Structure 1
Amino acid sequence: MNSVRRPRWPWITLLILQLLQLLTLIPWLPMAGLSVMAFDSPGSTKMWQPWLFVGLLWSYPLWLLLAGAGAWVLWAFHRNRSAVILAAVFTLPVPILLGIILISNS
């Protein structure tokens, strides 16, 4: 039986990105709760923009879950670079944005 040793960097990278995804859920939770303030204005429940905003914000964990599952499936099929790119595209924007906010406020 010919055993090919897989590189470790994709597995480690995916694990780190998944941990970052979990950490981004900490600031997401209060933002999800505050997002219902989009309906404060009279008549806003009849507009489509607040519904879209709240729906997109509340679907964030679902997107992380789908991206994480897709990345691990790609990794299982030895598509290492594609797996890491998929996970990074859905993981890194929020930490980068939070870092920019923290740096600009200090």
Structure 2
Amino acid sequence: MENHHCAVDHFENSGFHYTLSMIRGKYKIIILYWLNENQPVMRFNELKRSIKNISFKTLSNTLKEMEKDKLIFRKEYPQIPPKVEYGLLDRGKSLVPILYMLCQWGNKHKDDKLL
């Protein structure tokens, strides 16, 4: 395996560890995928429908984490009923090539015989 010297002194200080911390969790990559596919924005309920098995609370908490990490933005409109939209910030968009690489790898290997 090629060594890219991603790790600095310790794994916890590496760029690899930092990247994983940004996308760690069951739904962050999926949220990035849907926001990228539906640019420029998606509403909360559109995301919820797209990610069928996620609870409202989990989606809300995950979006807050991603907003705090400056991967996505949240725009709230002062109206009733409330309207909230989410979209990718440049920092989140910079992860899209990684999503494409994961997709390419999956397409290449999904029919591999493991036994």
Q: TM-score, normalised to structure 1's length?
A: 0.28
- Structure 1 or 2, whichever has the larger Rg, is 1
TM-score (norm 2): 0.27
More strand by share: 2
Higher RCO by CA contacts (8 Å cutoff, separation 6 or greater):
1
Relative to its length, the structure with more helix (as a share) is 1
